[in-house]
Amino acid sequence: MRIGELSKDTGIPVPTIKYYLREGLLPAGERTHANQVSYTAEHARRLRLIRAMVQVGDLPIGTVRTMLAEIDSAERPTDSMLGRLSGALVAPRSHGPHADEDEVAETAALLRRHGYTRTDSVHVQMIADVLAMLRRLGRPELAAIVDDYADLALRMAETDLATLTALEDRDNLAESMIIGSVLGEALFAALRRAAHATVSGRVFPEDKFDTSPPS
Amino acid sequence: MRIGELSKDTGIPVPTIKYYLREGLLPAGERTHANQVSYTAEHARRLRLIRAMVQVGDLPIGTVRTMLAEIDSAERPTDSMLGRLSGALVAPRSHGPHADEDEVAETAALLRRHGYTRTDSVHVQMIADVLAMLRRLGRPELAAIVDDYADLALRMAETDLATLTALEDRDNLAESMIIGSVLGEALFAALRRAAHATVSGRVFPEDKFDTSPPS
C-alpha cells in the first residue's frame, strides 16, 4: 500500500509516519516506481506498536528505538532480555536525595523476606529512594505500606508472566512483553484510580468529618 | 531562617526556591529588614513536598499548584476531595483511538462484577481505551489480564485507604493523600519491576528456548 493508505489504515497522519521513518523507528518501504514507495501490513503493525509506546507509555523516541531493536534482534526471549527491556523502561530520572548504603541494604533485606530473589538491581535503589524520601518528608508511617505493596507486586508479576507464558504466538514474545509492560502499567494505574473512588466512597462518607471539632 | 539556610536545609538550590516563589508554589517569607526575608520550618516542609511531586511524581508545575491549593483549602478531607485530587493527577493525555460507547459500557459492567461501584468516571474511559488499543494491536489475549488486575487494584486501594484512615495526624490528611498517591505510585512501579526480575528468573531459565527450533 502507499503511505496515504498506511495513514488511513492506522489513523496516524502522514507527517508523523515520515518522522518515524526518518528516526529509523519504521523500516523504509519498497520503492516500486521512481516516485512510489510501497508499504506492507508489517509496517502498519509496527506503526500501531510505536503509537502505543509513545501515546500510552509516554516513552521518549530514544527508548522506543531501543525497545524496537530488542524486538527485532530477539530470537530467543530470555530472562536477560526481560531485564534489559525493564531497564530501558526506567527513565533515567533523579529521585532527589538518594538512600544511603544502609537504607539500600535494609530494603534488599525486606524484599528477600517477601520472597524476592533479585535484590541487587536499580529497582531496589529506586524503592529505597522513595522510602528515604517518605522518611525525610516526616512520613515514616506511610512507608510502612511497602510490606503490602511488595506482596501485591509479586502477585501481579506472577499474573504477568503467566499471561506471557500462555501465549501461543512465541515468535512475538518480545513484542508481547513490551506491549504487556507499557499498556499493562497504564491499565493498572487507571484501575487503581477507579478502585480509589470505590473504596473512598466506603471509607469517607461525605459528612464523616462534619462532627469533628475544627482543628 | 534566610533563603541560604532554607536551601541548605532542604538540599534545593536557591534559584529553584526563587522559581517556586515566583510561580506561587511557595508562600513568600516574612520581610524582617529592608534586605532580609525570613523563612520558617513550614517553608522547608512545603519545599520538600514540592520536590517529591516534581521529582518522583514527575508532575507539571500547574498540577502541583492545583494540588497545593487543595491541601491549603482542605478543612475537611472528603470523598469528593480525593476524587478531585485523583482527577488532577490524570495527565490530560490523548490515548489514541478511543473506545466506543459499547466498549466503555462493557468495561463498566466488568468493573461492577469485580465490586467497583463508581463506574462512570474518566478512569473507566481510560481503562476502556487501553483495552481497545490491545484489541487493535491484535492482542486480545493480553487484554484478559484486566480481570486479575481489577482485583489487585481493589486490594491495593483498600491498603491505601486503610493506611490513610489509621493516620493520627488528621490535619495533614490532604497532604498525606497526595504524598501517598504520588510516591505510592512510584514505589509500586519499582516494586513491580523488581518482582518481574524475580518471577522471570523462575519462568524463563536462561536456556529454556535453546532447544526450540529457530523461528
Name the minimum distance, in Å, from the CA of B105 to any CA of chain A: 15
Q: Tell me the pLDDT band of B150, cut-offs 50, 70 and 90.
A: very high
Nearest CA in chain B to A124: B194
Residues of B in contact with A199 (CB under 8 A): 154, 157-158, 160-161
Closest CB from B76, B137, B201 relative to A52: B137
Which residue in B55, B117, B148 is closest to A198 by CB distance?
B117
- Banded pLDDT at A17 (limits 50, 70, 90): very high
What pLDDT digit, counting tens, does each position of B19-29 carry? 999 999 999 99
Q: Chain B residue with minimal CA distance to A48?
A: B137
CA distance A101 to B141: 42
B86 closest CB neighbour out of A11, A94, A196: A196
Q: Quick one: pLDDT band at residue A199, thresholds 50, 70, 90?
A: confident
Joined grid coordinates for residue B48: 520538600
Give the one of A130, A179, A208 whose C-beta lies nearest to B56's C-beta: A130
What proportion of chain A, given as a percentage, has pLDDT over 90? 32
Find the CB nearest A199 among B55, B158, B196: B158
Angle between helices A14-22 and A3-10 (to 10 degrees): 110
Compare all CA atoms of chain A with the CA of B83 and give the residue at the minimum distance: A197
Return the pLDDT at A208: 41
Sign of CA dihedral A154, A144, A189, B193: negative
Q: What does the alpha-carbon distance between residue A49 and residue B40 come to, in Å, rounded to a whole number?
A: 51
Q: Which of A195, A39, A2 is nearest to B115 (CA)?
A: A195
Could you give all domains of chain B from N- to C-terminal order, each with its CATH number? 1-56 (1.10.1660.10)
Q: By CA distance, what is B89's nearest residue in A?
A: A193
The pLDDT tens digits for A26-77 are: 999 999 888 889 999 999 989 988 988 887 777 788 888 888 887 777 665 5
Contact A160, A128 (CB under 8 A): no
Per-residue model confidence as pLDDT tens digits over B160-175: 888 888 877 666 777 8
Please indicate whether residue A105 or residue B212 has the higher confidence score (pLDDT): A105
Phi first, then psi, for residue A95 (nearest 5°) are -100, 25
Numbers of helices and strands, H then E, in chain A: 10, 2
Write down the pLDDT at residue A214.
Answer: 39
Name which of B146, B183, B210 is nearest A130 (Cβ-Cβ): B183
Residue B156's region, left for phi above 0, alpha for psi from -120 to 50, else beta, is: alpha
Asked if pLDDT for residue A131 goes beyond 60, the answer is yes
- With beta carbons less than 8 A apart as the criterion, state whether A194 and A102 touch: no
* Ramachandran region, residue A12 (left: φ > 0; alpha: ψ -120 to 50; beta: rest): beta
Please tell me the predicted confidence (pLDDT) of residue A215: 38
| A102, pLDDT greater than 90 | yes
Contact between A204 and B126 using a beta-carbon 8 Å cutoff? no
Position B95 scores a pLDDT of: 52
Chain A partners within 8 Å of B147 (Cβ): none
Q: Which residue has the higher pLDDT, B35 or A113?
A: A113
Task: Work out the pLDDT band at B54, boundaries 50, 70, 90.
Answer: confident
Query: How high is the pLDDT of residue B152?
Result: 95
Chain B residues with CB inside 8 Å of A121's CB?
Answer: 193-194, 197
List C-alpha distances in Å: B202 to A70, A116, B87, B135, B138.
21, 11, 38, 29, 28
Residues of chain B with C-beta less than 8 angstroms from the C-beta of A197? 82-83, 86, 118, 121, 123
User: What angle, rounded to 10 degrees, do the helices at A79-89 and B173-203 form?
Assistant: 160
- A133 touches B183 (CB < 8 A): yes
Nearest CA in chain B to A45: B137
Can you tell me the mean pLDDT for A81-110? 73
Q: How many helices (H) and strands (E) does chain B have?
A: 10, 2
**pLDDT at A30 (0 to 100):** 93
Mutate to test the interface with B, among A187, A210, A212 (most CBs of B within 10 A): A187
Among chain A residues, the shortest Cα distance to B131 is held by A187
- Using pLDDT thresholds of 50, 70 and 90, give the confidence band for residue B109: very high
Q: When comparing pLDDT for B212 and B73, which is higher? A: B73
| Interface contacts (A, B; CB < 8 Å) | 302
Residue B96 pLDDT greater than 60, yes or no: no
